[in-house]
Amino acid sequence: MHEYYAKKAPKLKKEMNGLLKPISRGLTKHSKKEYADIFSEIWEHYRQNMLENFPYIGGDKVSGTGNLTGAYCFVSMGEVLKRYNVQMEEIGHLMVLAYERRFNAMPGIIKAIARKYFTNVKSLNKKYLKKDAQNAANAAENPGSFETKTIIPPEKGCDFSYHNLVCPLSDFAKAHGYEEYMPYLCNLDYVMFGVFGVPLYREHTCFEDGDYCDFKLKMDAKPMEYWPPVFMQGKGYK
């Protein structure tokens, strides 16, 4: 285990609890265990299988570390629920409920600020161009970390677009046999943007296409429904 994750473990455990507690009833229903017991089982799986193997991609100085550590809480949840014969689609649904409840629990003013931020194209371009440079500098030190590219002008029909060129979540899934979770993890982006009322559209993923993940915002469109998962809706989006 990298020393960063060893030191961060107590905080990550607290963050996992915050992520999973809103779906505690579902976890207890499927496992027939008290929440504290099933949570301990999930955390132990995460500690042994995720923290022991996560690559160091920059730690606290890059936002992508939180994406990696947070997303794989759901993977450990799924691996444990499989022991109780829970199917992948239901695991994916619990992931959506956990994420939806997390963002819906935010005060209305915070969600309004987030929506305003994600619909201000000029501000987004400035912010993400800076993020591109930061990610490139970090990737030079920590190969395999997130790398991004803001697309200016944006792709046709979009108001804003950027690409993830390298995705540690996808790389970790392929290296450790968690591929079936990736489409459901990608679907969580639609949950977050949907709760904020921001219309996201994606046609490429690093995992499936091997080239990049595209994040395209169309300000005059309606946010897509995120359940059933976008990749199951037959509209060409992922």
Q: What is the mean pLDDT of the chain?
A: 97
pTM exceeds cut of 0.95: yes
| pLDDT tens digits, one per residue of 156-193 | 999 999 999 999 999 999 999 999 999 999 999 999 99
Find out whether 57 and 64 touch, Cβ atoms under 8 Å: yes
Q: What is the pLDDT of residue 29?
A: 98
Query: Which two tokens mark 221?
Result: 């469109």
Q: What is the pLDDT of residue 90?
A: 98
Query: Which two tokens mark 3?
Result: 């020393």
Could you give the 3-state DSSP secondary structure of residue 106? coil
Separation of CA 35 from chain center? 23
Find out whether 199 and 115 touch, Cβ atoms under 8 Å: no
**How many angstroms separate the CA atoms of 71 and 186, rounded?**
10
Place of tokens 């209305």: 108
Q: What is the pLDDT of residue 160?
A: 98
Amino acid type, 56: Y
| pLDDT tens digits, one per residue of 29-83 | 999 999 999 999 999 999 999 999 999 999 999 989 999 999 999 999 999 999 9
Separation of CA 200 from chain center? 14
| pLDDT tens digits, one per residue of 209-226 | 999 999 999 999 999 999
The terminus-to-terminus CA distance of the chain in angstroms comes to 32
Instruction: Give the pLDDT mean for 135-147.
Output: 97
Find out whether 237 and 203 touch, Cβ atoms under 8 Å: yes
Instruction: Give the pLDDT mean for 102-126.
Output: 96
Query: Which two tokens mark 9?
Result: 């473990």
Instruction: Give the pLDDT mean for 85-106.
Output: 98
